[in-house]
Amino acid sequence: MHIYALKAAFLAVMLAAPAIGQDRNDDAQPVWNEFTSKEQNFTAAFPSAPKLESGSISGLNPLTRHSFSANDGDETVYSVVVLEYPQGKGPKSPQGGLFAEMAAAYAGDSGSRLRKKGEQTIAGVEGYEATADDEKSKLQHWIGLVQDGDRIYMLISAGPQRRSAAKDAEYFRDSFHFLREVPDANRVHAVPDPY
């Protein structure tokens, strides 16, 4: 895997993030609207209409990056970044090492430090989740990674450290769903109760 090219993709996401302003009242709730991308096979709730940017990732052609980003005021950004590989060329079982490397690359590019990381079920699929803090600018980042075939989805929430940030990031993560079923190999299956 070409981690340096993926780091370039994450840097492009960070450059598209809004300037972070003052903290909003922790009791204020964003108005969330469901967004659907049939082309990228997902739906997610965003606090405002997401802006779409697409392009090839230098050094990994024909890998394509699709970024769907929406602001919550001037302080927080929510993004779904889709890394789309050519048919049949996606990574094989990236949950462990590759997802950890991608989260670390994002933290490095955003100037933050990983605080918590590990496996997490996202949209019913085995994935990876990490949180990172930037003490200098008081920003908190939540990163979620999940794969569907030849696509890796990176869900990002970045904004001021506050009590409601974790709740909003969790809502964003839980709103993310695939439009069609993903292969059984990646799906999390419930274990039947033996009693």
Residue pLDDT, tens place only, 145-160: 999 989 999 999 998 8
Helix (H), strand (E) at residue 160: strand 151-160
| CATH number of the domain to which 111 belongs | 3.40.1000.10
pTM of the model: 0.79
| Inside any domain, residue 184 | no
How far is 96 from 163, CA to CA, in rounded Å?
29
| Inside any domain, residue 126 | yes
| Inside any domain, residue 185 | no
Find all residues with CB under 8 Å of 41, minimum gap 6, and list them: 148, 151, 178, 179, 180
| Inside any domain, residue 195 | no
How far is 70 from 47, CA to CA, in rounded Å?
7
| Inside any domain, residue 60 | yes
| Inside any domain, residue 105 | yes
How far is 149 from 145, CA to CA, in rounded Å?
13
The whole domain housing 144 covers 3-19+30-178
pLDDT digits (tens, 9 = 90+) for 79-96: 999 999 998 888 886 656
Say what angle helices 3-16 and 97-110 make with each other, to 10 degrees: 40
| Inside any domain, residue 140 | yes
Task: Return the pLDDT at 160.
Answer: 87
Residue 60 pLDDT > 80, yes or no?
A: no
Domain count, the chain: 1
| Inside any domain, residue 192 | no
